Amino acid sequence: MLTAHVACSVGWLGAVAAFLALGVVGLSSDDAEAVRGAYLVMEPAAWAVLLPLAVASLLTGLIQSLGTSWGLFRHYWVLIKLLINVVSTVVLLMYMQTFRDMADVAGNPRADLDSVRTASPVVHAALALLLLLVATFLAVFKPRGMTAYGRRKLREQRAALEAKRDEQGTALVR
């Protein structure tokens, strides 16, 4: 599951980098067909690659954290990664309509290049890349810090373990 989560998350990062490149082509290329093509290809590529990877990263991350001692709300780094993943996926879902609208304009032969070009995909992809890089950094370095909930849970677990040991010790003495 960890391998699947890493593959999906890093794949998502790479896909966002590709969208950033497409956005730059759309914004700066002198080739009219390349500009229109960049915006036309974004929507199907987002449905085929971006969104499935985002959802897969979220699901595998949830299973991975809930299935191990890391938990979902115990460590700040896990909690922040979850927050980044959920926010990015929701914004991507909302942005799917924008992909559709950009493709409509790019596919319209009456639309001049100035109305086709937009900085929106570059801005969104750059911000998404930044967020996903932060998530990758957190996943690799796992900085210290437990939430109040995590500390309480750990104390409860340790207390339960000690009580069990005491119980076993008393039984042995008898």
Task: Report the candidate in 127, 154, 134, 130 with the shortest Cα–Cα distance to residue 77.
Answer: 134
Of residues 94-123, which lie at the interface with another protein (CB under 8 A)?
94-95, 97-98, 101-102, 104-105, 108, 110-111, 115, 118-120, 123
Q: Minimum Å distance from CB 33 to another protein?
A: 18
Q: Of 145, 94, 102, 147, give the one whose Cα is nearest residue 120.
A: 102
Question: Residues binding another protein: what is the number (CB under 8 A)?
Answer: 30
What is the C-alpha to C-alpha distance for residues 100 and 110, in angstroms, rounded to an integer?
Answer: 17
Query: Can you tell me which of 14, 44, 145, 169 binds another protein, judged by CB under 8 A?
Result: 145
134 binds another protein (CB under 8 A): yes
Query: Does the footprint of another protein cover residue 6 (CB under 8 A)?
Result: no
**Residue owning tokens 């990263």:** 57
Task: Tell me how far, at minimum, the Cβ of 102 lies from another protein, in Å.
Answer: 5
Find residue 75's DSSP bridge partners.
Answer: 146
Give whichever of 68 and 168 is closer to another protein, judged by the CB atom.
68
Q: How many residues are given for the chain? A: 174
- DSSP SS3 for 146: strand
Nearer to another protein, 49 or 126 (CB): 126
- End-to-end, the C-alpha distance of the chain in Å comes to 46
| Contacts with another protein, residue ranges (CB under 8 A) | 76, 80, 94-95, 97-98, 101-102, 104-105, 108, 110-111, 115, 118-120, 123, 127, 134, 141-146, 151, 154-155, 158
